[in-house]
Each structure stands twice: as structure tokens, then as C-alpha cells.
Amino acid sequence: MAKVIPVGIAGLGRYVPEKLLTNADLEKMVDTSDEWIVQRTGIRERRLAAPAQVTSTLALAAARQALADANMPAEELDLVICATITGDQPFPATACRIGLDLGAKKAGGFDLAAACSGFVFASQVAAGLVGSGQFRNVLVVGAEILSRILDYTDRNTCVLFGDGSGAAVFTSLERAGRGEFLGGSISMEGGAETILALPGGGSRHPASQDSVNQRLHFMKMGGTKVFRFAVRVFAELVQGVIDKYGRDQIGVIIPHQVNQRIIEAAMEQLGMPMDFVFSNIDRYGNTSAASVPIALREAYDAGRLQKGKLVVMPAFGAGMAWGHLLLRW
Ligand code: UT7
């Protein structure tokens, strides 16, 4: 798809539910401690959706903030892409509910399932479609209610994740006036079904009494393998940007908020100080597809997106699937 129109980001939004789940709360649920969780992950608390909330509820709040920031009525949207692995239900697409509730009357929409890389991948799809001239205004939302697929008897996973949503509106750079899309990457390596996955509910293990008894409808993870993989690809993705643009062009790195130790190890490998990084993992844990856009909006609010400088967003997760999104703010 030839790039004919420069693309930018007109608006950003984020939403997290009110309910806090602290490390002290988790100490009462599984054999863990605040000390272990903080030392191994940097996480102090995470947010949990209220029982009445579904993923589209969270997505809607972030989308409304992004549209308000863009000063764009929902009727002007041509497309809604929802990046999620915890949609309202397996089908129809959660994007259809978001479009209806927003009042995006002329928009099409679909979901994109790439786990923690979902927002970064969906943003590249959006930018490609705007850049080609096929669509003018595309909303990308990363939204997750991971608490609904977590096994709160499994200390290996339940301490790490939380719920939330983030959104961005892609349009022509001329209209957006900021957040120029420079490109990115999308990579995958299959065969990780036993490393990081939700085994049940698909064609491999359809829902049955047996799948419920085996707890297959909860997330499973081999954390150490993911740790090593994440450090390696994070460092490679940022190094690629340095090689092309130079380190002094980088204003901020907003990585997938996976684990503070992974972020620190990758930055050490790159020989770069932590000042380059925006991190909010202590407050939200890992929110999968929502993690990068929540952090992007918070970095924007904190004045960390510097005019003319690069914003580098590396992401990695189940698949394995990894890639990055690159903007010039
Ligand atoms: O977006 C991608 C999603 N994936 C991730 O976010 C996970 C990435 N991986 C990680 O963040 C880390 O690998 C973990 C935080 C999951 C684990 O840290 P680690 O330093 O790799 O610890 P470990 O897996 O080597 O486990 C060390 C010990 C084990 O006990 P033994 O076998 O040495 O006796 C675990 O059973 O820590 C134990 N452990 C815990 N202890 C207290 C595991 N989870 C907990 C826990 N509380 N919550």
C-alpha cells in the first residue's frame, strides 16, 4: 500500500476502572507477598472492572476521551479497530458495540487479536489505511478485562495483570497537527501455545465440562521464557530505531508495561538511562493491548511527548508476536 498521505494522531484517551486490587489484597488470596511482587515486577496495584462492566464499556470511555481530544464527532469516524483478547464475547466483534454506543454511524469496524502487541499492530493498520487514502478517520482502541480470564488461585499469573483501555484517533497529519506516524514493525513466531495462552474456548479445546474442570478457560503462562524473549526483542526494536534515526532523536520510550525488571534489563542492554522510559506499571500492572495507549495518554498529560522528538513504542506478547510503533510528536 503506497503511502500518499502523511498520517498523524489527532487525539488520545485512556480509562481505568475505579476498583483497586493491591498487593496486600493478593496476599490474602494466594501464597505471595508485597515484597515478592514489587521486587520481581515493580507492580504495587492494578485496576479491576466492576461486575457490570464489559470490555466495550471500558473501551467507550477511552474512545470518548480520544475523540474529545481530537475535537472530532463520532459521526466522522470511518473505521473502529478494537485490539483485545478479552472482548465482550468471542463474536460479534467488540468494535461493533463500540461503534454503536459512540454513535459512529458511518464507521465499519473489526477486532484485532494480537494480545499485548494489539494496539501497536492495530495502529499500523489504521495508519496504513489513512495513509493510502482509503479512510480519513480511524479510531484504535486497546481494551482488556483480563481479570475475567485470570485464575486467582495461580500466583504465577494473577499478580501480574489488570484491566483498562486506551485509544487513539488516526487522521491526516494536516488535520491532526501532531503525532506523525513514521512506521513500525509487526513480527511473529508461532508455536507458543503452551508458553502464554488461553487454551480453552476455541476450536482446540471447545468449552465443555472437561475444559472447565481442567481450568482451561484461564490464562496459562511460562513466565521465565516470556521474560527472556521480552528483554531481547525490546532491546532489538529500540536499537533498530537508534540505528535509523540516532539516539538523540528519541524523546521517550513507551514500552508495553510488562514488568519493570524487563524494562530495566532491556534499557541496560541498550546502554540507555531509565530517564528515556515512561512507565506506569506500578499502578496498573500489565493490561495487555491497553497498556501502551494508557501509558501514551499519561505520557502526553505528563508533558513527556516532546515536540519534534521520537516516541518509540515497543510491544511483545503471546504468539509470540512483537513489534513497535514509531511517531514523531
Ligand atoms: O505481556 C507478556 C505477559 N507476560 C508477562 O508479563 C510475564 C513476564 N515474566 C515475568 O514477569 C517474570 O518471569 C515473573 C514475574 C512471572 C516471574 O519472575 P521470575 O524472576 O522469572 O521468577 P521465577 O518464575 O523464576 O520464579 C521464582 C520463584 C518460583 O519459586 P521456586 O520454584 O523457585 O520455589 C515461583 O514459584 O517465585 C515463585 N513465584 C512466586 N512467589 C511469590 C512465582 N510467582 C510468585 C508470586 N509470589 N506471585
Predicted confidence (pLDDT) at residue 168 exceeds the cutoff of 90: yes
CATH code of 7-177, in short, is: 3.40.47.10
Residue 163's contacts (CB-CB under 8 Å, 6 or more residues apart) are 16, 17, 46, 47, 48, 49, 58, 144, 145, 146, 147, 287, 290
- Whether 147 contacts 16, CB under 8 Å: no
pLDDT confidence of residue 224 = 80
- The model's pLDDT over 271-303, given as tens digits with 9 standing for 90+, comes to 999 999 999 999 999 999 999 999 999 999 999
Ligand 1 geometric centre to CA of 202 (Å): 27
For 131-158, letters b (16+ CB in 10 Å) and e give beeebbbbbbbbbbbbbebbeeeebebb
> What number is the average pLDDT over the span 114-126?
98
User: Which of 252, 255, 257 is closest to 305 using CA atoms?
Assistant: 252
Whole-number average pLDDT of the chain: 97
- Distance (Å, whole) CA 313 – CA 248: 16
Q: Is 23 in the pocket of ligand 1 (CB under 6 A)?
A: no
pLDDT confidence of residue 264 = 97
Closest-lying ligand 1 atom to the alpha carbon of residue 155: 48
Ligand 1 geometric centre to CA of 156 (Å): 6
Which residues are tagged catalytic? 116, 256, 286
Ligand 1 geometric centre to CA of 224 (Å): 7
Q: Is 57 in the pocket of ligand 1 (CB under 6 A)?
A: no
pLDDT confidence of residue 4 = 86
For 262-271, letters b (16+ CB in 10 Å) and e give bbebbbeebe
- The model's pLDDT over 222-275, given as tens digits with 9 standing for 90+, comes to 878 889 999 999 999 999 999 999 999 999 999 999 999 999 999 999 999 999
Asked if domains 7-177 and 181-328 share a fold, the reply is yes
Instruction: For residue 194, name the pLDDT band (cuts at 50, 70, 90).
Output: confident
- The model's pLDDT over 140-154, given as tens digits with 9 standing for 90+, comes to 999 999 999 999 999
Please, is 273 exposed, middle or buried when counting C-beta atoms within 10 Å of its C-beta (0-12, 13-18, 19+)? exposed
> Hey, whose CA ends up nearest to atom 41 of ligand 1?
32
Output helix, strand, coil percentages for the chain, rounded to the nearest 5.
Answer: 40, 25, 35
What number of helices (H) and strands (E) belong to the chain? Answer: 12, 13
What residues form DSSP beta bridges with 9?
A: 170
Q: Is 311 in the pocket of ligand 1 (CB under 6 A)?
A: no
Q: Is 276 in the pocket of ligand 1 (CB under 6 A)?
A: no
pLDDT confidence of residue 283 = 98
> Hey, whose CA ends up nearest to atom 21 of ligand 1?
224
Predicted confidence (pLDDT) at residue 2 exceeds the cutoff of 80: no
Superfamily name with CATH number, domain 181-328 = Thiolase/Chalcone synthase (3.40.47.10)
- The model's pLDDT over 5-56, given as tens digits with 9 standing for 90+, comes to 999 999 999 999 999 999 999 999 999 999 999 999 999 999 999 999 999 9
C-alpha cell at 36: 515478592
pLDDT confidence of residue 3 = 57
Ligand 1 geometric centre to CA of 115 (Å): 20
pTM: 0.97
Q: Is 258 in the pocket of ligand 1 (CB under 6 A)?
A: yes
Ligand 1 geometric centre to CA of 226 (Å): 10
Q: Is 34 in the pocket of ligand 1 (CB under 6 A)?
A: no
Q: Is 245 in the pocket of ligand 1 (CB under 6 A)?
A: no
Domain boundaries, the chain: 7-177, 181-328
